[in-house]
Amino acid sequence: MADKKLHIVMFPWLTFGHILPYLELAKLIAQKGHLISFVSTPRNIDRLPKLPPNLASHLQLIKLPLPKLHNLPDNAEATTDVPYNLVSLLKKAYDALEPPLTSFLESSNPDWIFYDFAPYWVGPLASNLGIKTVFFSIFTAPAMGFLGSPSDLMGTDGIRKRSEDFLVPPPWVPFPTTVGLRYFEIMRLSDNLSDDNDSGVSDTYRYGAAIQNCDIVAVRSCSEFEPEWIQVLENIYLKPVLPVGQLPSTTYDDDDEKKNDTWRWMKDWLDQQRKGTVVYVAFGSETKPSQEDVREIALGLEKSGLPFFWVLRIQRGPYDENVLQLPDGFEDRIRGRVVVCTSWVPQLKILGHESVGGFLTHSGGTSVVEAIQNEKPLVLLTFLADQGLNARVLEEKKMGYSIPRDERDGSFTSESVAESLRLVMVDEEGRIYREKIKEVKDLFVNKERQDRYVNDLLAYLRDYKSTKLGDGDC
């Protein structure tokens, strides 16, 4: 079975913070000669980065049209296209992909399907078709371990009843750690705990059911970095948990003239700045700060005295009526030492430029890995989902520094923004953050290690399949 080529379907949730790590893993597997069917909606497929030509015969992009729903805007196929209040409606449309996905699986007969937390219904569906399943989580092992077992997530056997219970590590974590949520982060997560939304299913239930109904759990992690957390997952899931490496971002330089022109003027500006002085500011494709947040961030950047390149998400899609504004007079006062960009940017290239000396980030997994790839120290400002848990790990390991905030409402001041940036990028006191990010780089972007994780994953999938065939299960 060692030479058997597998056919694997990948089905990520409609968020580019999920789609892109799935695509990185898909590319790594396709490079080994296996067939990948990467399934998403037409507009999302069209927005993917261009694939290297050598993968064309091994990585096929499958478009499943998203069902139309009343009140869901036309062309809204990813969370980046809609305001926060319509994301649950997008999940409802996504759930309606079950019939066309079933038809595709029946006709293509894959060996495995890798699926995300949102399509919690894939496990039973695939099992009925004799297809083995991997729940592939783009969340970190500490975040997954903190959230608990499937029964905890699905609400059938949860021992944490109060908000205060989430401020501290859970009892199933047997080692000292600071990983926990802050009060304002718990409040912002409350919508995920309720099934009172347009889809009728809470995010935590989806997550728990996705884990419960899979054959194997795969996690974006490596055992050299957080072995104790991977062990926690095996203890609470009671099934195989396979780290697949950190999946550092790769790019294929194509001949997209518009994107090349965009990078050209950005590079020209970065080239004019002194080495290690520019703050890169970006909060991912999902995060839209509040107007008050934008004001304090802007004034803090101004007070820091540092040049900065800010990718500012002013609205979530064309139907978001709440468009963010910069403070009055801000752009005039800082003219010449700043770029504020409200559209697509080549983040990996920007982080790789020698003038960039630090990254003000939301702590999203892909952004953190890309910062480590380029040895850029991290200043952390969390907003959504698992970001707070990611930030605790980075703080604990001295890989990032969180901007001080009010514990109850999450507010922060421009002074704290400025002081945090100067601490991490300039001050002697913050040298530990600049050095630690370099120390851990090899754990995140070592090609030989990443290749070994993919080989181990594929060997496990082949052995699992052959063992089950031998047992007469298929």
Q: What is the pLDDT of residues 6-25, one digit of tens each?
A: 999 999 999 999 999 999 99
Q: What average pLDDT score do residues 240-248 get?
A: 95
Same fold across 7-250+446-470 and 257-439:
yes
Q: What average pLDDT score do residues 399-428 get?
A: 96
pLDDT digit string, tens, across residues 150-173: 999 998 666 777 778 889 999 999
CA atoms of 137 and 145, how far apart (whole Å): 12
Q: What average pLDDT score do residues 378-400 get?
A: 94
pLDDT of 208 over the 70 cut: yes
Residue (of 391, 400, 454, 63) closest to 250 by Cα position? 454
- pLDDT given at position 176: 95
Q: What distance lies between CA 335 and its chain's CA centroid?
A: 33
Residue (of 44, 37, 43) closest to 18 by Cα position? 44
Side chain identity, residue 361: T
Backbone angles phi, psi at 438, to 5 degrees: -75, -35
pLDDT of 33 over the 50 cut: yes
Ranges of each domain in the chain: 7-250+446-470, 257-439
N residues, the chain: 474
pLDDT of 196 over the 70 cut: no
H-type helices in 347-446, by residue range? Answer: 347-351, 365-373, 387-396, 414-425, 431-439, 441-445
CATH 3.40.50.2000 fits 257-439, yes or no: yes
Residue (of 209, 210, 217) closest to 240 by Cα position? 217
CB 116 within 8 Å of CB 210:
yes
Question: Which residue is it, tokens 């009010």?
Answer: 406
pLDDT digit string, tens, across residues 329-374: 998 898 888 999 988 899 999 999 999 999 999 999 999 999 999 9
pLDDT digit string, tens, across residues 49-107: 989 999 989 999 999 999 999 989 989 999 999 998 899 999 999 999 999 999 999 99
Residues 6+ apart with CB under 8 A from 427: none
Alpha-carbon torsion (401, 153, 130, 463), positive or negative? positive
CA atoms of 260 and 251, how far apart (whole Å): 13
Compute the C-alpha angle 335/341/344, nearest 5°: 160
pLDDT of 253 over the 70 cut: no
- pLDDT given at position 471: 45
Compute the C-alpha angle 233/239/471, nearest 5°: 165
- pLDDT given at position 254: 63
Q: Cα torsion for 212, 215, 221, 223, to the nearest 10°?
A: 110
CA atoms of 69 and 67, how far apart (whole Å): 6
- pLDDT given at position 467: 53
- pLDDT given at position 468: 52
Residue (of 211, 205, 96) closest to 144 by Cα position? 211
CA atoms of 117 and 203, how far apart (whole Å): 8
Beta bridge partners of 401: 379
- What is residue 220's DSSP assignment? S
Residue (of 416, 411, 431) closest to 303 by Cα position? 416
CA atoms of 36 and 47, how far apart (whole Å): 18
pLDDT of 256 over the 70 cut: no
CA atoms of 326 and 324, how far apart (whole Å): 7
CA atoms of 80 and 418, how far apart (whole Å): 29
pLDDT of 470 over the 60 cut: no
Two structure tokens written together for 163: 């908000």
Q: Residue 327, exposed/middle/buried by CB under 10 A (0-12, 13-18, 19+)?
A: middle
3-state secondary structure of 253: coil
CB 239 within 8 Å of CB 216:
yes
Average pLDDT over the chain, rounded to whole? 91
Percent of the chain with pLDDT over 90: 76
Question: Which residue is it, tokens 């409802």?
Answer: 92
| CATH (one of 3.40.47.10, 3.20.20.210, 3.30.465.10, 3.40.50.2000) for 7-250+446-470 | 3.40.50.2000
- What is residue 118's DSSP assignment? S
Q: What average pLDDT score do residues 121-148 get?
A: 96
- pLDDT given at position 191: 58
More confident residue, 332 or 469: 332
Distances (CA, A) of 198 to 93, 94, 101, 350: 10, 12, 21, 38
Q: What average pLDDT score do residues 274-299 get?
A: 94
pTM of the prediction?
0.93
Question: Which residue is it, tokens 């989580």?
Answer: 137
Percent of the chain with pLDDT over 70: 94
